[in-house]
């Protein structure tokens, strides 16, 4: 496969994902996983989850996981193509919405729509969580780390940075 076709695949794949990402980037993680790992064979499941974790550990919006995937697949140009592809469709939609709807105060309508969309979005986010956990927990110790993270988030709503830091230290010390 030559380089140009890889870049084309990246562009098409992430532009499509952008259009389907109602509920945000986290909601399309299972779809992204199946495209990146199964359809295109760009990387292993474990690599995908590692890149996802790297992007979560970095500052910025969740969409930077796409930048990282593009970089891994086709270097700096791949990162650029993937980022532009995932940004452009949603950019055009948000731009149009702001241009033509921002002077409407339609909060009641938004709330109604949100009540319809939210259960689907939450179902997709939980599916993302299940997929990531399934790949990331290949040992008892990593299963314990995931379980502790879920428990601490539900109990204290603490900053994710604390959990990530603790797990990184535990892993560095050889416990995971």
Partner 1 sequence: MTIEVQEDRPVRTVALSELFLAFAGISIMGFGGVLPWVRWMIVERRRWMNEEEFINALSLCQLLPGGNVMNISVYVGERFGGLPGAVAALAGLLLAPCLIVIGLGGLFQAYGHLPAVQGMFRGVSATAAGLILGMGLRMAWRYRRDVRALPVLAATIVAMAWFKLPLLVILATILPVSLIIVWTTRQR
Q: Minimum distance from CB of 85 to partner 1 (Å)?
A: 12
Q: How far is the CB of 134 from partner 1 (least distance, A)?
A: 8
Query: Which of positions 103-162 make contact with partner 1 (CB under 8 A)?
Result: 103-133, 135-137, 139, 141-143, 145-154, 157, 159-161
Q: Smallest distance from the beta carbon of 33 to partner 1, in angstroms? A: 10
- Using CB under 8 A, which residues numbered 21 to 50 contact partner 1? 21-22, 24-26, 28-31, 34, 49-50
- Assess contact for 133 and 53: CB atoms under 8 A: no
CB of 3 to partner 1, least distance (A): 18
**Given candidates 40, 43, 77, 176, which one binds partner 1 under the rule CB under 8 A?**
176
Per-residue tokens: 70: 């593009």
The DSSP line for 36-103 is IIIIS--S-HHHHHHHHHHHHHSSS-TTHHHHHHHHHHHHHHHHHHHHHHHHHHHHHHHHHHHHHHTT
* Backbone conformation region of residue 51, classed left if phi is above 0, alpha if psi is from -120 to 50, else beta: alpha
Single residue of 8, 12, 44, 101 touching partner 1 by CB under 8 A:
101
């Amino acid at each position: 496969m030559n380089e140009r076709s890889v870049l084309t695949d990246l562009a098409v794949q992430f532009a499509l994902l952008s259009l389907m990402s109602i509920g945000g980037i986290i909601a399309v993680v299972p779809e992204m996983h199946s495209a990146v790992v199964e359809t295109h064979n760009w990387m292993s499941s474990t690599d995908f989850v590692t890149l996802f974790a790297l992007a979560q550990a970095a500052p910025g919006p969740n969409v930077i996981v796409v930048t990282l995937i593009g970089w891994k697949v086709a270097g700096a140009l791949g990162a650029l193509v993937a980022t532009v592809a995932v940004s452009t469709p949603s950019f055009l939609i948000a731009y149009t919405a702001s241009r033509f709807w921002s002077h409407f105060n339609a909060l009641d309508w938004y709330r109604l729509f949100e009540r319809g969309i939210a259960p689907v979005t939450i179902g997709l986010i939980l599916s993302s969580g299940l997929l990531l956990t399934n790949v990331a927990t290949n040992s008892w110790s990593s299963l314990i780390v995931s379980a502790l993270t879920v428990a601490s988030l539900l109990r204290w709503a603490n900053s994710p940075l604390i959990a990530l830091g603790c797990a990184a230290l535990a892993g560095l010390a050889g416990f995971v």
